[in-house]
Amino acid sequence: MPHAAFDCVIRAGHVATAVDEFDADIGIKNGAIAAIGRDLSAGTAEIDAKDKLVLPGGIDAHAHIEQLSSAGIVNADSFESATASAAFGGTTTVICFAAQHRGMNLMTVVGDYMALARKGAVIDYTLHMILTDPTKLTLEEHVPALVAQGHSTLKVFMTYDLMQVGDEGLLDVLLAARRNKALVCVHAENHGLISWMGKKLVEKGYTAPKYHTVSHPRGSEAEAFTRLIAFAEFIDQPIMIFHVSTAEGVEVIRRARGRGLKVFAETCPQYLFMTAKDLDKPGLEGAKWMCSPPPRAESDQEAIWQGLALGDLQVVSSDHAPYAFDASGKLSAGPNPNFKQIANGLPGIEARMPLLFDAMVSKGRLGLAKFVELTATAPAKIYNLYPRKGSIAIGADADLVIWDPSRKVALTDGMLHDRAGYTPYAGRTVTGWPDTVLRRGEVVVRAGKLAAKPGSGVFLPRAGGAAAAPLNRLAGDMDPARNFGARLY
Ligand code: DUC
Ligand code: ZN
Ligand code: ZN
C-alpha cells in the first residue's frame, strides 16, 4: 500500500489567519503544514472540520508557571497542569518566566526553570528572564551567555518592594538589552505611590481586598510608562509594556508610538472583562479578583479596546498567575490577611482565548482576523517566533485549533484544568470553544481529553529579532558625536 502523502489532513474547515479567511483542507507532514488546498489526498489520519474554524494555535506571551514569588510562595500550577490548561483553551505556545530573586544566580535560575519545563510542558515554551538583581555579573556575563542560548527577553519590575530595580537598575537593564539585542518587558507602575497608598489604607483600617484597587492609583501607571519610555528612548532600546490597565496608560503609549518609538504593549482579559467592582465582595472573597495592576473601570475597558483596534496595543496575554484560595496561596499569611498580604494574580491561561473569541467574534467586536492577530500572530512576530508559530502557512509548525464557533460554555469554578480551583469568570457564558487542538501535528486535546504526555512540549530558542532591534536614534548625551566623545554603549 503506498504511503499517504500526509500524516494528517484536517478536512473542509474554515481557515482563518490574521489576514485571510478561506475554506480549505490542511495537510500535515512531520509536524509541519505541508499543503493548504481543496480536495487534498488522504492522510494517515483525517480530522473532519466541517462547520468548524481552523485557527493558529494561541500564543500566550505572559504566564507565571511554577514560579516562586518574592514572598516565597509558588503558583498553584506545575508546568504540566498550566500547559495542559493552556492546551484545553486553544493555546499551543507559552512564554513563561525564569524569575531571579535578589542574590540568585541567573544561570542557575534559568537552568532550574528549563528543567521544570522540560519535564512537564505539554505545549511548546520559551522564557522571559526576570531580573531583580542586575549586578555586573548578571548583566555582563550571564545575560550574554543566556541570550546566546535563545533567551532573548529580559523582564523587570518598577514596583514590588523585593522585585523593583529602581531607575538606575532599569537603565542598566535597558543598556544590557541593547548590547545583547534582547527585548525588555516591564511591569510599569510607580512604586512610591503604591507603597505609600498601601500603608495609608492599612493604617486607617481599610484592609479588605477591594482596597487593593485603591492602593494602585491609576496615575501610577501613566507616570511609570512616561518614565520608562523616556529611559527607553534615552538608551534607544525597544520595550514591551506589560498588562496595560488604564485609559491614560494607553494614551501615553499612543503618543510614544506616534513619535516613532519602538514601544510595544500588552493587555490581558482582566482589563477587558473585569472592573474594580469585581473585588467588592463580602469577606475575603474579593481576593480571587486581585491582580496587579488591578482591574479598573468600564471606561478603561473601552479605551483599551480602542487601543487594540488602533494597534497601540498589539497583544492580549493572560498574565496567568494562579493562587488557590487557601493557605497555599491567597491565604498564605493566615486566615485574616490585609490586602497587602494577599498574593496578586489570577488564573487565565485557559479562558483567555474563549473569552476573547466570545467578545471579538461571537459578539462581533473587531472580528476574527483581529482575534487571530492578538492571540497568536502578533505575539509570534514581536517575540520572534514567526513564521514557525503564529500563522497557518506552508512550512509553519502545525499548531492548529479546530474551533467550534457555536458551542456555548458556561464557565464555572472547577471546570477548567489549572489548579487555582476557581475562575474569576465563573457565571459567564461564552460562545465558541476549542474542539480539537494540535501541537506540531499531534493531537493534544480531543473531545475534552488531554492526549499529550508531560515533557512533550519543546523549548523554542529565540533571538531578539526585528522587534528588539534599536532604532539607532541616539540621544545627544549618549552619542559620541554630540557628547564630547564619551562612549557609553
Ligand atoms: N501581577 C504581577 O505583576 N504578576 C503576576 C500577577 C499579578 O497580578
Ligand atoms: Zn506584572
Ligand atoms: Zn505577570
| Vertex 437 angle, CA 435 and 442, to 5° | 140
- The single residue listed with the C-alpha cell 516613532 is 260
Neighbours of 388 (CB within 10 A): 19
Instruction: Report the C-alpha gap between 221 and 50 in whole angstroms.
Output: 46
Q: Which atom of ligand 1 is nearest to the CA of 290?
A: 8
Q: Give the model's pLDDT for residue 296.
A: 98
Please indicate whether residue 210, judged by its CB atom, sits closer than 6 Å to ligand 1. no
Q: Give the model's pLDDT for residue 4.
A: 86
- Yes or no: say if 295 and 210 are a contact pair by the CB < 8 Å rule: no
Please check the confidence at residue 396 and state whether its pLDDT lies above 60: yes
CA dihedral 344, 349, 354, 358 (to 10 degrees): 30
What pTM, to 2 d.p., does this model score?
0.98
Q: Which atom of ligand 1 is nearest to the CA of 157?
A: 3
- pLDDT, tens digit, for every residue of 83-105? 999 999 999 999 999 999 999 99
Q: Which of 327, 242, 225 is nearest to 292 (CA)?
A: 242
Strand order in the sheet with 124-130: 58-63, 91-99, 124-130, 153-157, 183-187, 239-241, 263-267, 315-316
Q: Which atom of ligand 1 is nearest to the CA of 344?
A: 8
Please indicate whether residue 345, judged by its CB atom, sits closer than 6 Å to ligand 1. yes
- The single residue listed with the C-alpha cell 497555599 is 328
- Residues in contact with 135: Cβ distance below 8 Å, sequence separation at least 6, in sequence order: none
Please check the confidence at residue 1 and state whether its pLDDT lies above 60: no
Amino acid identity of residue 10, one-letter, is I
Which residue of 158, 190, 292, 317 sits with most ligand 1 atoms within 8 Å of its CB, as the best mutation to test the pocket?
292
Average pLDDT over residues 357-366: 98
Q: Compute the mean pLDDT over every residue in the chain, rounded to the nearest whole number.
A: 97
Q: Give the model's pLDDT for residue 85.
A: 98
Distance between Cα 459 and ligand 2 center (Å): 23
Q: Which atom of ligand 1 is nearest to the CA of 160?
A: 3
Q: Per DSSP, what are the bridge partners of residue 119?
A: none
439 vs 14, 179, 392, CA distance in Å?
Answer: 19, 34, 13
Q: Give the model's pLDDT for residue 141.
A: 98
Res. 42 pLDDT band, cuts 50 70 90 = very high
- pLDDT, tens digit, for every residue of 181-236? 999 999 999 999 999 999 999 999 999 999 999 999 999 999 999 999 999 999 99
Residue nearest to atom 3 of ligand 1 (CA): 292
- pLDDT, tens digit, for every residue of 269-305? 999 999 999 999 999 999 999 999 999 999 999 999 9
Please check the confidence at residue 2 and state whether its pLDDT lies above 70: no
Please indicate whether residue 130, judged by its CB atom, sits closer than 6 Å to ligand 1. no
Q: Which helix (H) or strand (E) covers residue 369, if one does?
A: helix 367-372
- How many Cα neighbours within 13 Å face the side chain of 342? 32
Higher pLDDT, 445 or 3: 445
Share of the chain above pLDDT 90, in %: 98
Q: Give the model's pLDDT for residue 71.
A: 85
Share of the chain above pLDDT 70, in %: 100
Instruction: Report the C-alpha gap between 386 and 406 in whole angstroms.
Output: 29
Average pLDDT over residues 380-408: 98
Please indicate whether residue 64, judged by its CB atom, sits closer than 6 Å to ligand 1. yes
Query: What backbone torsions phi and psi does residue 371 show, to the nearest 5 degrees?
Result: -60, -45
Which residues have C-beta under 5 Å from ligand 2, the single-atom ion? 187
Q: Give the model's pLDDT for residue 3.
A: 79
- Residues in contact with 449: Cβ distance below 8 Å, sequence separation at least 6, in sequence order: none
Q: Give the model's pLDDT for residue 74.
A: 86
- pLDDT, tens digit, for every residue of 138-195? 999 999 999 999 999 999 999 999 999 999 999 999 999 999 999 999 999 999 999 9
Distance between Cα 442 and ligand 3 center (Å): 29
Chain mean position to CA 415: 22
Instruction: Report the C-alpha gap between 247 and 36 in whole angstroms.
Output: 41
Which residues have C-beta under 5 Å from ligand 3, the single-atom ion? 319
Distance between Cα 5 and ligand 3 center (Å): 43
Chain mean position to CA 302: 21
Please check the confidence at residue 109 and state whether its pLDDT lies above 70: yes
Instruction: Report the C-alpha gap between 349 and 418 in whole angstroms.
Output: 8
- Yes or no: say if 300 and 247 are a contact pair by the CB < 8 Å rule: yes
- Residues in contact with 73: Cβ distance below 8 Å, sequence separation at least 6, in sequence order: 323, 328, 329, 332, 343
**Before 269, cis peptide (omega within 30)?**
no
192 vs 166, 199, 219, 296, 344, CA distance in Å?
Answer: 11, 11, 12, 20, 18
Q: Give the model's pLDDT for residue 397.
A: 98
- The single residue listed with the C-alpha cell 498589539 is 314
Q: Cβ-count burial of 117 within 10 angstroms (0-12 exposed, 13-18 middle, 19+ buried)?
A: buried
Q: Give the model's pLDDT for residue 271.
A: 99
Q: Give the model's pLDDT for residue 72.
A: 87
Average pLDDT over residues 454-467: 98
Distance between Cα 484 and ligand 1 center (Å): 43
